[in-house]
Every structure is written in structure tokens, then in C-alpha cells.
Amino acid sequence: MNQIRKWRTAAEWVSVFVLAGYVLYAGILRGWQMQSDFPNYYTSSRLLVEGIEVSRIYDNHWFTEQLTVHGFNQPGKFTPFPPPTALLMIPLTPFDPLTAKRIWLLMNVLLLIPTVFFIRKISGESRRFSWLLILVTGLGLANNFYLGQVYLLVLLALLAGHYLITTNKEYTGAAIWGIAAAIKLIPVIFLLPFIFQKKWKPLAGFTAGFAAIHFITLLVTGKEVYANYFSVLANHLNGSIDGQSPYAYQFQSWNALLRNLFVYDEVQNQHPLIHFALLFQIGRLFIYAVVILIAAERIYDFRKHSDFTELVMAITGIAVFELLPASATYHFIMLLFPFLFLFRKANRDQRIVLFISFAAIGTLPVILQKLIPENAPILFLFYRLWLMTIFWAAAMVVLKRISKKEISIP
């Protein structure tokens, strides 16, 4: 047993150093330059600071012109960011764009320290394994740094908020979630167990944080910005983002895959598997129904479980990531949050399956994106969707086994 423990410790250390080296090279060193999504965040904040009228901020052509004015030689878009996103980089607007990007990159790296602290608090794992859990998000974490994204910050808000909620600071913790949800909507899904249990204090805290940020933004940007946002949000939830093809395999979603298989387009998809658009609608409805019904069954299984709140967060979080209408590698950093709750409840064998399937989402695409050419058969191009589906299936099986074994009344 001691020998096995030593081998496991050695394997964890090797994995930590290898993954840290990859993130350092692919994310931090490459991210020291400007090629990134950061200009979209930075420019939107500069527009507010300079008092420029921003009613057209969701017009991609107009926004690209603003990027050019502010020194960026690349196209850009504010779609589909919520309006409060424009507040994010205001503290960095006194700096020139490249300096601001580098400051944000360093801040992003420093966020790893409190993130690992809260991972350890929630999971009960060692500091070493807690570092492994965040580093194993691999390509997602590297791209978060490289592109100047904010998803590690959102993950930290989720972790810190949950820690406060579970230490009798429900209002404050949920308010942090609300503030984060005003920037990126994903924290909204983790309110479901509080709604089921009629826990009004965290719901009130979330609402206060969410509303406060939106109220401030509304005062700064005006009503027209919000009207335009709701228009682009509806398209985004349907898997269509202005300026990007809904057929793009980079979205790695069921929406994009089914469009490629069944919806003809004379420019973007001349050779679908079957030209029958109704199959796209039927297929999407079927997949959504399966995932939602299985999630509902698992939630019902745990209705009297002592860890109902955390298990429902795991169920809904994993289900939502399976159904994302358009995803990017860095989104999957946030999948670590629901993963932790399931991982904590699983037995040793189940943990191995969960960890391997979760780690595959962040690590295998590093290799697969180099091995699979862009002209490969369409099913091969959606490798991250298949990896996510394998993880989702493994998680649902583990949840079912936990429910059969550990149902308890608090």
C-alpha cells in the first residue's frame, strides 16, 4: 500500500510539472504578446472611460472600427458579452494596450493561488492534487491566459462564493455569484438547488449582486445597449453568433454538429450527410430531452440526500456543459466547479473514471488538434464534444450508483 501511495505521489508530481510547463509555454509565454481576445474587453472599457456613445457596441463593424482607433489591427466583436463586461478592464485603461494585456496576464496567473486554496477547501484533497485539478484543465487554462480571457476569474468567484455560502455567509457568497453572473451567465445555473429548497437568503444575495452591476451598467451605457444585447442573446442561445458561422466545428456543440449533418448551405455547408433540416430540429430536441430528463431523474434521486445542494450543482452544471450551444476551450475551466462536488462523493474506483474522463477534455485536444486535419470527416472534428459526452455519461452513471448506495435523510 505504501508503495502504491509513493507511485501515486510521484505520478501526481510529474503530472503537475508537465502540465505547468505546458501552461507556461502555451498560455503565459505566448500570451505575453497581443494576439488575443483581450482587445474586446479592453476597448469596451476604454469606450466607457472616454465617454463615447456605445449604443452600437453590438454592431461588429462599428466595434472593429473602435478597435482600430484604439490601436488594434484586428477584427473584433462585443457579441455576445453581457453589457457589464465593459466594466471589467476599466482599471487597466490608463495603460497602453500591450501593457494592460500583460498586467492582466500576470493578475490572471496570480488568481491560481486563491483558486487552488478554495479547490482544496471544497475537495478536501492535498495541495498537490488541488494544483493538479486546475492544471489538468490544460488547453482551456492555457488559452484563458493566452487570449486574455476572464474564465479563471469566474471560476474563482464560484469557488469563493460557495465557500462563503457553506460557512454561514450565504448572502455575501451568493452576491459574489450574482456579480460574476452579470459578466458571464454560467453561475445562474447553480441557483437551482436553492430554488428547490426555498433558501431565500442566497437567492436574495445573488439577485442583489446581479442587479447592482446591471443597474450601474444601465446608467453608464443606456437602454439601447440592453435592447441590442437581448437580441444577440437570443441568437447566441440558439447557437448563432453574429460574425461567426453556426456551422463552425470550433463551437464543439450539438447545434453545430447537427447543422453540419443535416442543414444545407450553399456557402458554408454544401455537402451535409443528409439535406433534411427537420432532422436538425428533431435531433437537437431529442438530445436536449435526454440530457434534461436524465438530470431531472438524478435530482429526484437525491431529493432527500444530505448533500442535495452540492449534488444538484454537479448534475445541472455537467448537464449544461453537455448542451452548451457554442463552446470554447476556456469555458471548460468552469466545469471544474461542478466536477469537484461529484468527485468528493465518489468512491476510489469512481474517482479514477471521473478524473480520467474530466482530464481528457483539457488535455487530449492538445494532441488531437494537431493530428486531425481540418478536412477530416466532420464527426472526427468534434472530438471535444465526444470527450465531453463521455465525461457526462460517466458522471451520470456514477451519480446513479451513489444514489442507490447513499440515500440518507438529513
Whether 162 has a pLDDT exceeding 70, the answer reads yes
> CA nearest 90: which of 79, 74, 103?
103
How much of the chain exceeds pLDDT 90, in percent?
80
**pLDDT at position 406:** 62
Read off the C-alpha cell for 187. Answer: 453561475
**pLDDT at position 1:** 61
Q: Say which residue, 73 or 126, is predicted with more confidence.
A: 126
Please name every residue paired with 8 in a beta bridge, in sequence order, or none if there are none.
Answer: none
**pLDDT at position 341:** 97
Half-sphere exposure of 303 (CA within 13 A, CB side): 5
Give residue 313's pLDDT band: very low, low, confident or very high (50, 70, 90).
very high
Q: What is the mean pLDDT of residues 129-153?
A: 97
Q: What is the DSSP letter of 306?
A: T
Whether 410 has a pLDDT exceeding 50, the answer reads no
CA 126/CA 200 separation, integer angstroms: 34
CA 232/CA 65 separation, integer angstroms: 19
Whether 409 has a pLDDT exceeding 70, the answer reads no
- The answer to whether 40 and 79 are in contact (CB under 8 A) is no
Read off the C-alpha cell for 213. Answer: 452591476
Whether 256 has a pLDDT exceeding 70, the answer reads yes
How much of the chain exceeds pLDDT 70, in percent?
97
C-alpha triplet 319, 144, 360: angle, nearest 5°: 50
Q: What is the dihedral of CA 244, 358, 173, 151, to 10 degrees?
A: -30
Q: What is the mean pLDDT of residues 357-382?
A: 95
Give residue 239's pLDDT band: very low, low, confident or very high (50, 70, 90).
low
Whether 36 has a pLDDT exceeding 80, the answer reads no
Q: What is the mean pLDDT of residues 4-13?
A: 87
**pLDDT at position 2:** 78
Q: What is the mean pLDDT of residues 245-258?
A: 92
Give residue 85's pLDDT band: very low, low, confident or very high (50, 70, 90).
very high
pLDDT in tens, 44-53: 999 999 999 9
Whether 388 has a pLDDT exceeding 70, the answer reads yes
**pLDDT at position 407:** 52
Give residue 369's pLDDT band: very low, low, confident or very high (50, 70, 90).
very high
CA 322/CA 335 separation, integer angstroms: 10
**pLDDT at position 246:** 87
Of 237-241, 255-259, 320-324, 375-379, minimum mean pLDDT range: 237-241
pTM: 0.93
Please name every residue paired with 269 in a beta bridge, in sequence order, or none if there are none.
Answer: 265
pLDDT in tens, 189-206: 999 999 999 999 999 999
The mean of the pLDDT values for the chain is 93
